[in-house]
Amino acid sequence: MSNQIGANVPLIDHHCHGVVPKNLTAEQFEDLMSEAFAPAPAGTSHWDKPLALSIRRWCAPKLDLPKFAAPEDYLARRQELGAVEVNKRFLRAAGFEILLVDSGNRPEELCSVEELGVIADVPTREVVRMESVAERVAKTSGVTATGYADAFEAALRASLHNNVVGLKTVVAYRSTLAIDYAPPSAGEVARAAGDWLAEVEQTGAARITDQVLERHLLWTGANIAREKSYPMQFHIGIGDPDIELNKVDPSRLTPFIREAEAWQFPITLLHCYPFHRHAGLMAENFPYVYFDVGFVQNWSGPSYQRIMDEALELVPFTKQLYSSDAFGLSELYYLGAMRFRTSVARALGRWIDDDELPATEAERIIDLIGRTNARRIYSFV
């Protein structure tokens, strides 16, 4: 029974990235299987981790290989088929209805939002990463400290073309979530912008990390989200070595959420592990908060079921979303969709077996989480 629940529900992946459109070397493939900034320690390999085990088990057959194919055989077959065919196989096998793509992370390495839609053969929409816009502004000739705030807002608004459906912030990476969320004054923004612009001019690199500038970014984005009924996505929890894990618990967002809730735009907490239980409670407590468990179901390999069981403990079925957070490797799209369908179906199947859920309602619940909730809060027209 459980393996049939939701099997045919097309998913809306509300948070993902592009795929690498060219063939990958062994080293490049391993890099994309890791959140680290460095190769595996000498004498070891990223193939010895739960994610790699899932790739060998579930992705190898999609490339006409036996399950648990050796890494070298898997990579050789990937090269033989070529990136175009590999990406097409995995993205089209995942069963998507639409993809909402964060286009701001290392775009020079990945296909575009439009190209991803062609590969997957489904519509794509864009989610604008606000920090990327701010960093472009900081590198623009003629921007002054006192003019930065207006320049950022103008650039952010200019990025909101007809295909955009939401905003995204990685404040968790840049200043952490352990900050004061009060809107900064114009003077505070100008002083912080002056320091940042001087640094950009000196180094040529632009990376927004100042708490004042991040607070300004958040409230500028919140005002636009209110106007346009956009969801605002927040990176939460799991991430690369830039993350200070003890400072990215979603509960630290509570002061911002309390203030922003009056504006009645959706706030979505992305992937959240190991704070997915906290995120579920926040989705229960705040009417405009949503969450997902994202790519951790890929990264955790065979342990993925426990994470979904915990994610379903408290959250209303109308407040959880599906995402893969797939980046670079098309395998992550396929695995994310498969893990989601399997884990929710198993959880609901147990509830049915234990007489805790009518069998007639299971399909509706997986449809809510897999696509209907996203369709309700994002505008696809």
Domain regions of the chain by residue span: 2-23+94-377, 25-81
Place of tokens 């790519």: 295
| Axis crossing angle, helix 211-228 with helix 148-158, rounded to the nearest 10 | 40
Q: Which two tokens stand for residue 168?
A: 């995204």
Per-residue pLDDT averaged across 147-162, rounded?
Answer: 97
Chain segment 22-36, per-residue pLDDT in tens:
999 999 999 999 988
| Phi (first) and psi of residue 204, to 5 degrees | 80, -5
Per-residue pLDDT tens digits for 195-251 = 999 999 999 999 999 999 999 999 999 999 999 999 999 999 998 888 999 999 999
pLDDT band at 3 (very low <50, low <70, confident <90, very high): low
CA neighbours closer than 13 Å in the CB half-sphere of residue 71: 14
Question: What pLDDT is stored for residue 1 in this prediction?
Answer: 47
Confidence class for position 37, pLDDT limits 50, 70, 90: confident
* Locus of tokens 């000196």: 202
**Residue 38: which pLDDT band, with cuts at 50, 70 and 90?**
confident
- Greatest CA separation found in the chain? 66
Integer-rounded Cα Rg, in Å, for the chain is 21
Distance CA 259, CA 268 (A): 15
Q: What is the DSSP letter of 267?
A: E
Written as six digits, the tokens of 54 are 């899932």
**Sign of the C-alpha dihedral, residues 19, 20, 23, 25?**
negative
Helices (H), the chain: 26-32, 50-54, 71-81, 83-93, 113-120, 130-138, 148-158, 171-174, 186-203, 211-228, 254-260, 276-285, 296-299, 304-311, 330-353, 359-367, 373-377
**Chain-centre distance of CA 325, in angstroms?**
4
Q: Would you state the structure tokens that stand for residue 119, as one six-digit string?
A: 């590969």
Mean pLDDT of 305-329: 97
- Tens of pLDDT, residue by residue over 43-63, are 999 999 999 999 999 999 999
Domain with residues 2-23+94-377, CATH architecture: Alpha-Beta Barrel (3.20)
State the DSSP string of 198-259: HHHHHHS------HHHHHHHHHHHHHHHHHHT--EEEEES--STT--GGG--GGGGHHHHHH
Question: Residue 160: is it exposed, middle or buried by C-beta count within 10 angstroms (0-12/13-18/19+)?
Answer: middle
d(CA 122, CA 308): 26
